[in-house]
Structure 1
């Protein structure tokens, strides 16, 4: 006795659906990968451009490396005179900006054969660097440093250099001490990691300065220890590196959450790529990791 055609088709379809369900993963969660940027002496700042190319500062080897999407090894950029580079940023045009320990802020325009020093004047110890959508360049400057003394006095500041300007202007971060890193979002909000405690009770925090504001506000990262560097994504979520963790503070949230990185020893710099993946440098293990969100 045979099986009618409709029933046979139904049985085949059911078997195919069951097989597909068994073969597919139950949950495509975040996955972590180590980028092929090997031989780093001391990874520092990090950036990602619109095409997905990753830029990494190698502080001890005085160089900036780039890794293009799909590449198996990095390429060194033309920065022959760097001394102790700290941080790197890249704008929409592909221009690259780098701070170093000789009080300089360098730029390598896209396609240029050699870099030049931007007119930030006599900086003490520039650390973080960021660039916004209209070309303003932001730099944190720590005046108390054994590397250099400068003429502006013992004051830590955040400087902003407008396109075409011959000198920077100081942003209103009163009482700022030991600013480490800076980031800027699409709305022009400026984020700074700095010491927000006092001499006897030092404590780092993340300050946010809105456009036109005269004083910054402090973001709720109070329970995050060993704050390092800061990044912000296209939706306004803020990311910081902490002790063995990277934390994300969603826009409007009151509490940050740790991202599911594994095996981080000494997270230093963090950046968010256009596809939402989070890239971090690990200083102790001298590597660069990427977390791809599921």
Structure 2
């Protein structure tokens, strides 16, 4: 910016002026524009990944009819993602009749969210179902799933993954429920109007230790009994001790009457005032 000084005849005799070097400002502006473009590209990639994860999860884990009849049991299923199309998690379930007429009932929870969690969930879900169909004992199924996750970690350490899981098999001829767990919260049994958590057999979470040992527990179900299998999203709340959530679940379930569609209403009433930070998956079985 400049201004000329002139003499009496109007001829310029000197010039006064100043300048400002805009190089740094222009360079910073260009960098901001570059970062903005990269952020938009990254946002698009993340949105595409979330969309793909949702599609995969829906394809791999379709929600069945909410009330099923399996091997003489009434099975109610409920699945609640934390937020539709966002942070797709690894909670999953299986409820199916096996070739020998028994029922397989499973809930599991893979650590993390996104495509990696969905991929690990798919591996565990279909591998577990395949082994159960061939008659593999439940403790062996967990041991082999543990080996599977450890093998995946060795191949790609950056994709380290762990999971909790609870698997049960019900035999209608004997009314015997056999169950195993890998670091998972215990089943909740309601018998004659009283709720209690079943003592868990040994079993650390999957993918944590090569020397993991898994054992089975059994329970004789009686007419009128009902059992709830669930993931931790049903009982964990920010700033609250886990035992408080478990106590609240046990108190609440004895007041409900099992029936078609009751599980969704029960979960709504249980979670109503609390902020969820995880998916919720639950299987309720009644004899």
TM-score > 0.5, shorter chain as reference? no
Which one has more relative contact order, counting CA pairs under 8 Å at least 6 apart? 2
Larger Cα-atom Rg: 2
Write 1 or 2 for the structure with the bigger share of helix.
Answer: 2
TM-score (norm. length: structure 1): 0.34
TM-score (norm. length: structure 2): 0.35
